[in-house]
Amino acid sequence: MTHVPWFQKPENERTALQIVNLSPSEDSLEKLTEMHPMRQIVWATIIQVSVFGFMIGSFTLINMFLKSDLI
* 8 Å CB contact between 42 and 34: no
- Within 13 Å, how many C-alpha atoms sit on residue 17's CB side? 5
Helix (H, G, I), strand (E, B) or coil at 67: helix
| Whether this model's pTM surpasses 0.85 | no
* Per-residue pLDDT tens listing for the chain (71 residues): 555 555 555 555 666 555 566 666 677 767 777 888 898 899 899 999 999 999 999 999 999 988 886 65
* 8 Å CB contact between 44 and 50: no
Residue 61: per-residue pLDDT: 93
